[in-house]
Structure 1
């Protein structure tokens, strides 16, 4: 059987605060349609200069810990040369260097192969742009 490629774009509204949005269920729904029980790779990509994709535990405080760590590493103040938008917005443009805009994950028998506590998440610290797209692509 020849390799197949499928893709879908998710449209999300992240709101006016820093967020970690769990995409795991959306990834599973996409794979139910796209993978058809096949092995392959899922690529998750956010085409924005101020957001990233992380694989981490959620719901037990790790998502809040990540945002707190990013506030420490990338303070929202006037130190940034990229100075348009809300105060400290320049840090949002540095975020993808620490939380990359993509993740490629294994798919086995049509299911995302994550560890017990792992989730696929959109990390968005940009309070100026709540409208986000995330591209899911399956190759298998």
Structure 2
């Protein structure tokens, strides 16, 4: 069974932002001959995450509010004592972003059936930027049987 890899780049904005990457995954699947199998979606950063949920504007805002309550940027964090560790000059105080990411997931595995993602009606694959603004990468890996 073939294994096919791809990396996409996402230019993110500052703060918590949510991007629907389902179309990228669909395009990747369509570019292969895989009909049945799985796609691994993996975020390669410590202040980003992935989730499968509804891509609805008001819900996305609710998610941002919820995450800010989990790890408020204004709280005191040891990781933000930048003077106590060796860091680049432009290192942000982003402990809150790391903590939010720990409460979420860095990967999702989604079945592929008949050449399509087997997502539910309202499900989308969401990439969450928890820090930003940066150029981010997301790794896709398809494993399965060809037509």
Tell whether the structures are fold-level matches, with TM greater than 0.5. yes
Count how many residue pairs are aligned between Structure 1 and Structure 2.
135
In the TM superposition, what are the counterparts of 1:1-140 in structure 2 within 5 Å?
3-34=1-32, 36-83=33-80, 84=82, 85-87=91-93, 89-127=94-132, 129-140=133-144
CA shift, 1:78, in A, is 3.8
- Structure 1 or 2, whichever has the larger Rg, is 2
Q: SS of the residue aligned with 2:40?
A: strand
CA shift, 1:37, in A, is 4.8
CA distance in 2, matches of 1:60, 1:130: 22
Q: SS of the residue aligned with 2:76?
A: coil
Alpha-carbon RMSD across the aligned residues, in angstroms, is 1.4
CA distance in 2, matches of 1:125, 1:136: 20
CA shift, 1:8, in A, is 0.6
Q: SS of the residue aligned with 1:30?
A: helix
Contact 1:99 1:123 in 2 (8 A): no
Task: Give a deviation string over 1:47-95, Cα, whole Å, max 9, x none.
Answer: 10110001010124211111110000110024211114444x1011122
**Relative CO higher for 1 or 2, CA cutoff 8 Å, sep ≥ 6?**
2
In structure 2, stretches of 5+ residues that fail to align are 83-90
User: When the two structures are superposed, what TM-score results if normalisation uses the length of structure 2?
Assistant: 0.86
CA distance in 2, matches of 1:113, 1:64: 26
Say which is worse superposed, 38-47 or 92-101, in terms of deviation. Answer: 92-101
